[in-house]
Structure 1
Amino acid sequence: MMIRPYTDADEQGWLRCRVLAFLNTAYFDNVLQKKEHYENPSIELVAIENNQIVGLIDIEYEMEPQTICTAHDTVGGMIWHIAVHPDYQHRHIGEELIKAALKQAKALKLTYLEAWTRDNAKIQKWYEKMRFVQTYTYHHLYFDEPALEKYDLSVPAQVRPVTMFAHYTGSDPDVLNRASRRHLCMCYVKRII
């Protein structure tokens, strides 16, 4: 396996790897048709084996504190994407991607990495193994049409919401129970020493 910087020619392989890696996670419906490009500088790496992308990591980093990340008053990097193709999981590819990204982050004088994930025990355990610390949580809520009927949404008469995705920072069980689907969203932070 080789880890190298992402190039534009990698886009289709990057997309395939990400879609397949996310398929059996709480992010199964977060499908991209194009790879994101970032407003700020970034570390974008891919892991290659057998001439295909088997892993990826994208980190957009700050030039000034708290312009991308939320955790500290020093500059950090936001892990927007980290994924390993399901056929190549449990072979330490994610760990190698983190190590390679940390090396670059250290050279850039970043002081921490931040990542957000949803409630998945395996992924939480992996971040903790990589020495990330959970710092904050809130909920991602999905509402289907019957669940939305319970809310008075201020929208024009010609607009009829059918589904809705929302961030919820409260703890009212009634709100949580009204959602058709809900996930605990967690922030993990790793200090770079």
Structure 2
Amino acid sequence: MEIRHYKPSDEKDWVRCRALSFLETAYFDNVLREKEHYENPSIELVAVSEGKIVGILDAECDTTENRVCTGKKEKGAMIWHIAVHPDFQRKTIGEKLLKELEKIAAQKQVMYLEAWTRDDQWVRAWYEKNHFKLVSSYLHIFMEGNELPKIEGNKSEMQLVQGWAHYTGENKEAVKEKFKRVHECVCYTKVL
């Protein structure tokens, strides 16, 4: 297996790897049809085995303090995607991608990494095992049908059928009881 920089010709396999990797997570419906491109400098890595992309990692770097990252008053890098193809999980590919990111980030004078994830305990455990610290969280609420707020006006012209919201208040348990699909989105950081 080789860890290398992403190339534009990798896009189709990158999208497939991400889709399959996210399928069994709380991000199962966050489907991309093409790879994201970043406004700021980025570190985009792939893990390749037998000519196939089996792991991905994208991180966007701050050019000034808090341009991309949300937490600290120093230059950071936001991990937007880290994923390993399901057939290759539990083989330390994620750790190898992370180590390569850390090496390149240090050369770019990045002081810390930031990553947001949802409430998959195995994903949280992976971040914690790799020395990330949980620093904050909010709720991501998906609403359908009778869970949706009512819209004023002519109902024949517009009908809300799905929606989502962020909840940053203190009464998280009450919100979790009110809606069927609620994810806790958590922020992890790692000082380099």
TM-score by length of 2: 0.95
Describe the superposition over 1:1-28 as per-residue Cα deviations: whole angstroms up to 9, x where unpaired.
Answer: 0000001100010001000000000000
1:165 alignment partner in structure 2:
164
Number of aligned residue pairs: give it.
190
Which whole-Å CA distance do the structure 2 matches of 1:11 and 1:111 have between them?
29
Between the aligned residues of both structures, percent identity stands at: 47
1:165 Cα offset (Å): 1.3
The residue type paired with residue 107 of structure 2 is A
Could you tell me how far apart the structure 2 residues matched to 1:162 and 1:145 are?
6
Residue 177 of structure 2 corresponds to 177
Equivalent-residue separation in structure 2 for 1:155 and 1:39 (angstroms): 39
**Correspondence for 2:81:** 81
- What secondary structure, in the 3-state scheme, does the structure 2 residue paired with 1:43 have? strand
Alignment of 1:89-168 (within 5 A): 89-148=89-148, 151-153=149-151, 158-168=157-167
Which residue in 2 is equivalent to 1:14? 14
**Structure 2: distance between partners of 1:126 and 1:175:** 27
SS of equivalent residue, structure 2 residue 28: coil
Task: String of CA shifts for 1:160-179, please: whole Å, max 9, x gaps.
Answer: 11011111111334433222
Structure 1's 111 and 156: CA in aligned 2 closer, same or farther, altered over 3 A?
farther
CA distance in 2, matches of 1:116, 1:64: 20
Aligned residue for 1:161, secondary structure, equals coil
Report the CA distance shift for 1:109/1:50 in structure 2 as closer, same or farther (over 3 A): same
Q: Which runs of 5+ in 2 are unaligned?
A: none
Q: How does 1:23-102 map to 2 (within 5 A)?
A: 23-102=23-102
Tell me by how many angstroms 1:124 deviates.
0.6
TM-score, structure 1 normalization: 0.94
Q: Tell me which amino acid in the other structure corresponds to 2:15.
A: L
Residues 109/166 of structure 1: CA separation in 2 closer, same or farther (3 Å cut): same
CA contact (8 A) 2:144 2:161 kept: yes
Write the letter of the residue equivalent to 2:33.
Q
